[in-house]
Amino acid sequence: MYGYVLHFPAPIDAYLAMHKAVLETLSEDGGGEGLLVHFAYPTEQGFDLTEVWESKDQLDAFNRDVFPKAMARAGLTMDGAQPTPVEFEPAAVMTPRAFNSDAAN
């Protein structure tokens, strides 16, 4: 497994726009295989995003094949400095049930 946290100095509304675009892109084009956990939350500095994937290769495929389409859909650019991931190796992940937020609505 592969996990990481990103710290974004942007408002949570920027995340919500990205999240909506990603869900729409996944719905239309597929992708995202290997994602186990994804969550984001506002912080005093912006928002944090945490994900756990089955493998880093699956995250790399998502970032190559899905994320750029979603960013274009949302009208967001990937210009400028990107946050540096804080990587971790999950010891365990438990997901007793699936839950989708209504953030994309």
Confidence of residue 105 (pLDDT cuts 50, 70, 90): low
**69-79 burial, b if ≥16 CB within 10 A, otherwise e?**
bbbebbeeeee
Cβ–Cβ < 8 Å for 47, 82: no
pLDDT digits (tens, 9 = 90+) for 49-73: 999 999 999 999 999 999 999 888 8
Rounded to 5°, angle at Cα 24 from 74 and 75:
5
Q: pTM for this structure? A: 0.86
pLDDT exceeds 80 at position 104: no
What are the beta bridge partners of residue 8? 47
